[in-house]
Structure 1
Amino acid sequence: MTQPLPSLFGQKHSSRDYTQKRSWGKNMFNSSFPASLIAYMYSRNIKPVYLKIDRNCKVRHGYIAADKLFGIDPLSDSAYYSYEAEFPFYSTLYTGPREKMDLVMMNNVSKEVLSGFEIKLTAMPDNTTAGKREEEYSCEIVVRPPTVWNIACSICSAYDTVNRRERLRRFLNRVPMINNWAEAGEVLPHFEEIRQSILDICSDLSARQRPLVIQPVWKTDGKKMRLKDDCMDVFVWSNLAVIQMCVKDAPVTEIDRSDRTLVWIFRMLLEYVAHGCFDYRRIVRLQSYSLANDKAFSIPGNRSYHFLKSEEQHHPRIRKEEIKNVILGGGQNLLSPERRFDAVLVNSPDLLKNNR
């Protein structure tokens, strides 16, 4: 009997060769496994939770089927999973080096590009929720600058005609002219107007938002590196729902990472209406406000909980024994996990038994 080759469920055609160990590295696995998890959920008629906003910019929960999410049946022979690929729909909207997305879905026959996503595989609970009741577990969500580029491009693409661009300009013109955007002291007095302008744009596009961030969650038994029986599910954030992570009700007295992200988006949109494109990397570099640019912003679990709170967050729908249906042909043997000494100690209780 022929031994099955290492593979991931549903991915008949992919830019990664899962028979090769290099395709199972941490950064690759963190995007390819979630894609197959969604395909597996589709085979069981389980829809990912879809987070999107209403007209009042409040994040609401719904569901989205994988074929609608990807733009193609994820199990079909026509589905092609392209990783770390360019998204051509945005190529005319920005200048500089070409940016890539974690996953771009294509039609394997026509070669048509169908959809593109950022993928964030997150662990639940994080340090801020591990001490809480299990139903309050949640995860840290880290957003990198390329996701902000993605959000800005998705908004610009929605204002793609002369009339629509003029409509966008009117939203942006509510903010008084700022001479030096690199100086936080000049931006801060107008930040409330910047935030409101972004929210008004979100409200205007609420009927045209699109899925952007795929966030699978994996749930452990508290701080122990041991999966719960009900351990995995998938949340999908729309482009406009991601923005709401940055919005705070309290007055802003100094610009933090979340506030800076809103400024970045505003600046990108402002350049777009003026020139038809924007320089994403220059904006991120010059409008840093003495904050590192390694990440745009992050929210801890005690904040993400309020967005993710649901039956699916409390009881993920995929059980740990089902993981063997997603990782196939012994693919787990090609994984190269990070070696964490503290995790080894915690999960080896007999090692330190009767220690002094």
Structure 2
Amino acid sequence: MDLVMINRATNENLIGLEVKLTALPDNTTKKEPEDKYSCEIVVRPPTICFLACSICELFPTDQEKIALRKILNTVPKINHWNEVGEVLPHYAKIEAAIGQIARSLYQKQTPLIMQPVWKMKDGKLADDCLDVFVWSNLAVLQMCYSNGNVSNTEISRFQRTLIWIYLMLKDFVDYDTFDYIRIIKDHSFQNANDKAFSIPGKSSWRLLNCAELTHPRIKKDEIKNVILGGGQNLLSPERRFDAVIVNSPDLFD
């Protein structure tokens, strides 16, 4: 779900956010101790387009684009970007270039994903059940870094995402625009394009770990103050959280 935040005084659009409701724990952490619970995070290709656009916005002038182009040009010329064998030998430099760009922008990073979490315990909604995390554009970028675990023959979804971003930024500095649909379609590298990448809870825990992940701040007895006017009776329980609410009428007693 997408959300646009607006200045209520001026009706000015401030920022667009993608909202990802996630269950805590996920399948990979449900047998772990409670302080090791975490959520799966799935990132779709349109999010990568929004991420690239958020970076492009920070290079509005010709002089700034020249600086961005200089970083991108540290990657040797690749003639056939859709061929794994041509891209992989230069992947380390692609990763390094994107990393250098991110380091130059860390003080200008902006929110990109809002991640509400809902927590279950012993098959029921936990007493401390709701909280929200916000990921910046550069934080989502950081999810893709592999800590040197790179194949010699295949391009992973994480690597592919950084390549997509590189190509979007390169087209931006060369042509002032980029066709994200074409870039994603032509550079699948034998991976399906239904998602850019996903991170299971065991991997996302190191990024999310904090007191609020173990004990979310909103208690379940506050849900009746969030869903008002009998709204719970209008839910169609097609999703897990909706089903939990519909099957927990005691929350509204």
User: With structure 1 as the length reference, what TM-score do the two structures score?
Assistant: 0.66
Closer, same or farther in 2 for the Cα pair 1:332/1:193, shift >3 Å?
same
Tell me by how many angstroms 1:111 deviates. Answer: 3.0
Equivalent residues of 1:128, 1:301 under 8 A apart: yes
Amino acid at match of 1:211: P
Q: Map of 1:286-325 to 2, 5 A cutoff? A: 286-325=186-225
Q: Map of 1:111-130 to 2, 5 A cutoff? A: 111-130=11-30
Closer, same or farther in 2 for the Cα pair 1:339/1:311, shift >3 Å?
closer
Equivalent residues of 1:191, 1:252 under 8 A apart: no
For residue 276 of structure 1, what is the aligned residue in structure 2? 176
Tell me by how many angstroms 1:290 deviates. Answer: 1.2
Tell me by how many angstroms 1:338 deviates. Answer: 2.0
CA distance in 1, matches of 2:39, 2:135: 15
CA distance in 2, matches of 1:209, 1:156: 12
Amino acid at match of 2:111: P
Amino acid at match of 1:127: N
Establish whether residue 133 from structure 1 lines up as the match of residue 33 from structure 2: yes
CA distance in 1, matches of 2:187, 2:19: 26
Match of 1:327, SS state, is: coil
Select the structure that is richer in helix: 2
For residue 243 of structure 1, what is the aligned residue in structure 2? 141
CA distance in 1, matches of 2:231, 2:239: 19
For residue 228 of structure 1, what is the aligned residue in structure 2? 126
CA distance in 1, matches of 2:10, 2:134: 27
Query: For each residue in 1:179-229, what CA deviation from the matched residue of structure 2 results, as whole angstroms up to 9, or x when unmatched?
Result: 01111111111111101111110000001001111011111015x2x1100
Query: Identity of counterpart residues, as a percentage?
Result: 58
Amino acid at match of 1:153: C
Which blocks of at least 5 consecutive residues in structure 1 are unaligned?
A: 1-30, 32-101, 348-356
CA distance in 2, matches of 1:206, 1:109: 29
Moved over 4 A (4+): none
Amino acid at match of 1:164: E
CA distance in 1, matches of 2:74, 2:94: 8
Amino acid at match of 2:148: A
CA distance in 1, matches of 2:192, 2:145: 20
Match of 1:205, SS state, is: helix
CA distance in 1, matches of 2:222, 2:237: 20
CA distance in 1, matches of 2:186, 2:8: 40
Equivalent residues of 1:139, 1:305 under 8 A apart: yes
For residue 200 of structure 1, what is the aligned residue in structure 2? 100
CA distance in 1, matches of 2:97, 2:197: 20
Amino acid at match of 1:136: K
Q: 1:185 aligns with which of 82, 85, 88?
A: 85
User: With structure 2 as the length reference, what TM-score do the two structures score?
Assistant: 0.92
Match of 2:57, SS state, is: helix
Amino acid at match of 1:110: T
Match of 1:285, SS state, is: helix
CA distance in 2, matches of 1:281, 1:215: 25
For residue 164 of structure 1, what is the aligned residue in structure 2? 64
Establish whether residue 153 from structure 1 lines up as the match of residue 83 from structure 2: no
Moved more, 272-281 or 252-261: 252-261
Tell me by how many angstroms 1:113 deviates. Answer: 1.1
CA distance in 1, matches of 2:48, 2:221: 36
